[in-house]
Structure formats: structure tokens, C-alpha cells
A and B are shown apart, each in its own frame.
Chain A
Amino acid sequence: AQSVAQPEDQVNVAEGNPLTVKCTYSVSGNPYLFWYVQYPNRGLQFLLKYITGDNLVKGSYGFEAEFNKSQTSFHLKKPSALVSDSALYFCAVRDPFLGGYNKLIFGAGTRLAVHP
């Protein structure tokens, strides 16, 4: 079965420092991987996805993610964190076998806190 793990409940970063939010996955077949962000009292917003091709994927708001097949990881990164990046981040993998072709299996989420 497809699954996603986000090992950190919370990540604390100083503004201007690089940030990494970790995600590992387990899938049957080729993975379709996603990152979403949730700001307070808002829905989830799509950040980026990996389907195939270049292992470094660039997304919205200066975020990028690195797909590593050997380590089954898809960590989210940003070179310089902003206070406005503080939010809840979800990693997800598509499960095409159940739940329709665009069903996503989500991790538990990681809360990112960027301090001034």
C-alpha cells in the first residue's frame, strides 16, 4: 500500500536560514509525489509535484523539492526562509489503485515555524 511519512511534527527555522521539511514514501510502482501548504483557516494550496524527469522540482513561493529514489525521499527545501512561510506542510503520494485516479495519501503534516 502507498504511504507517506513526515518524521517531524514541527520544524523551527530562523528567518533567512535555509529550511528543509522531510518526507519519505512507500509506493508500488512509480511515485507521483506532491507538497501542499495550509495556512491558518485556509484550504490546502499546491506547491509542487514530482512525476518524472529532473529530480529537483521547483514550485511556488521559492520552494523546491528533491526526489531521491534510493532513499525514497522527497524533502521540501527553500534557500532562505521567510516568516510568512510559517504554515502546515503536507507531503502526499498519489494512489492510482484505490480512490480514483487522483486520490492522494497524505502524511500527518509538519508545522513550520519561521522566527524573525
Chain B
Amino acid sequence: EAQVTQNPRYLITVTGKKLTVTCSQNMNHEYMSWYRQDPGLGLRQIYYSMNVEVTDKGDVPEGYKVSRKEKRNFPLILESPSPNQTSLYFCASSSPTRRGRTGELFFGEGSRLTVL
């Protein structure tokens, strides 16, 4: 089954304790991205990756890091989490919008993070 898998789904942590949210896709997609969802703000892009070893900042990158060492994995790293990073996080992947490809984003189930 084609899917984007995130772990953990729920996490409560404390300020300053490094954490990693993993993301893996099995669709051989080149493009992967992280979003955070906050009430009244919709989803905002944190980081994205066009392919292996190619990553760049999105709209709200402060406090986050990413890496793309393999095509299928795109972990999100919070080196020193703070309470304003309490949010619902989504990983997404897609293929390019070309003939025969729809190009829409496929989303994981989400990771709800609470930073105390």
C-alpha cells in the first residue's frame, strides 16, 4: 500500500530535549516536505527536499533541521524544542507534476507534539 509513515504519532517532551520525528515513504517520490498545522493558520511549510541531499527552508524553518540521506526518508529534527513548537506536524511527498502524474501531495497521518 502506498503510504507516508510518521513516527511517533504522539509525543510529549520538555523544553530543550532533542527529538526526531521520522518520515518514510514507499512511493519512490523525489519531493518530500514537512508542514506544521496550527489552528486558524492552516498548514505552513517548514522544510522541503527536492531529492537526496537537496534540502531547503520553507516558510517557518526556525528551530528545525532536516536531512535527506536516502530517497525514502526525511526526518525532522528539533535540536532544542520550545513550547512554541507545540503543533501537529505532517510529512508529505509527491512526484513532479508531469504528463501522466498527478503531482498532488501525499500526507502522513501526523505527529502531535507537545513541548512543556
Over the window 88-110 of chain B, the binary record of Cβ atoms lying under 8 Å from chain A Cβ atoms (1 yes, 0 no) is 00101010110000111111111
Known pairs A42-B109, A43-B90, A106-B43; A100 contacts B33 (CB<8 A): yes
Q: B34-54 interface mask toward A, CB cutoff 8 Å, 1 = contact, 0 = none?
A: 010000111111001110000
Instruction: Say what secondary structure dominates the interface of chain A.
Output: loop
Point out the residue from B31, B92, B108 that lies within 8 Å of A101, measured CB to CB: B31
Q: With A and B bound together, what is the CA distance between A54 and B40 in angstroms?
A: 31
B contact residues, total (Cβ < 8 Å): 30
Chain B interface (Cβ < 8 Å from any Cβ of A): 4, 31, 33, 35, 40-45, 48-50, 56, 58-59, 90, 92, 94, 96-97, 102-110
Q: Which residue of A lies closest to B90 (CB)?
A: A43
Number of interface residues of A (CB under 8 A): 24
Whether the Cβ atoms of B42 and A49 lie closer than 8 Å is no
Residue A67 lies at the interface, judged by CB distance under 8 Å to chain B: no
